[in-house]
């Protein structure tokens, strides 16, 4: 999805605004957004909320060039054009991400810092290695690598992800990524690093 940034407005009180990120690990534009936030040192400045923007994708992942009717190679080519600094490979397919998002929610509840690393690595596992994010063994390995070897997602994580999905639907915007600031301003789609930096600071993107 191409960028459509909303107009950012300064916070008169000098307060750093709260920003929510709606994102799906199987979306390459979300992956590029993760990488840009990471390069800005801003992963911990946003509240990640994983959502399924294509809940009908197969579990386990089906190796195909066009899962869900989407052209993976074309999407990856778009990322290479729009975000050339992001290393990306075409995965064999797109997996359903319900389980990955549930693990992400549980990881963030268990340890916000290690959990955010786990979430970032979900995207990298698919878009740089081609891992199947619907595979519990893949998720277990990523959790262990993030230092979350005791992680076992339960009902709290499922309830959290259901609330995230509902809140995303309530935005009225059908796609991801979405960055939503608590003053109502939105960055929708893959945005340049300069736009992200300004949006997170609560200042106009042109400043």
Residues 111-140: tens digit of each pLDDT = 999 999 999 999 999 999 999 999 999 999
Task: Report the pLDDT value the prediction gives residue 2, as an integer from 0 to 100.
Answer: 35
Q: How far apart are CA 178 and CA 26, in angstroms?
A: 14
Coil, strand or helix at 22: strand
Check pLDDT > 90 for residue 71: no
User: Order of strands across the sheet with 186-188?
Assistant: 4-5, 186-188, 178-181, 19-23, 47-50
Say if residues 151 and 110 touch (Cβ distance below 8 Å): yes
Taking the CB of residue 62, how many other CB atoms lie within 10 A of it? 14
pTM for the predicted model, two decimal places: 0.88
CATH number for the domain whose boundaries are 4-201: 3.40.30.10
Beta-strand relationship, 19-23 and 47-50: parallel
- Residue labelled with tokens 């390069």: 39
- pLDDT band of residue 66 (cuts 50, 70, 90) is low
Check pLDDT > 80 for residue 102: yes
At residue 20, φ and ψ (nearest 5 deg) are -105, 135
Q: How far apart are CA 26 and CA 128, in angstroms?
A: 12
């Amino acid at each position: 999805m191409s960028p459509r940034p909303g107009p950012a407005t300064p916070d008169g009180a000098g307060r750093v605004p709260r920003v929510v990120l709606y994102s799906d690990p199987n979306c390459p534009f979300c992956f590029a957004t993760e990488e840009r936030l990471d390069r800005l040192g801003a992963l911990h400045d946003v509240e990640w909320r994983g959502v399924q923007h294509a809940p009908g994708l197969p579990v386990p992942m089906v190796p195909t060039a066009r899962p869900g009717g989407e052209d993976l190679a074309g999407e990856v080519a778009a990322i290479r054009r729009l975000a050339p600094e992001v290393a990306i490979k075409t995965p064999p397919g797109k997996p359903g991400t319900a389980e990955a998002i549930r693990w992400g929610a549980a990881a963030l509840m268990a340890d916000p810092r290690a959990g955010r690393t786990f979430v970032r690595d979900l995207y990298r596992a698919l878009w740089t290695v081609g891992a199947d994010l619907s595979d519990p063994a893949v998720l277990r390995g990523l959790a262990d690598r993030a230092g979350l070897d005791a992680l076992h997602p339960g009902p709290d994580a499922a309830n959290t992800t259901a609330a995230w999905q509902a809140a995303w639907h309530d935005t009225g915007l059908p796609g991801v990524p979405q960055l939503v600031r608590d003053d109502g301003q939105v960055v929708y789609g893959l945005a340049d690093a300069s736009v992200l930096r300004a949006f997170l600071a609560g200042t106009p993107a042109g400043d």
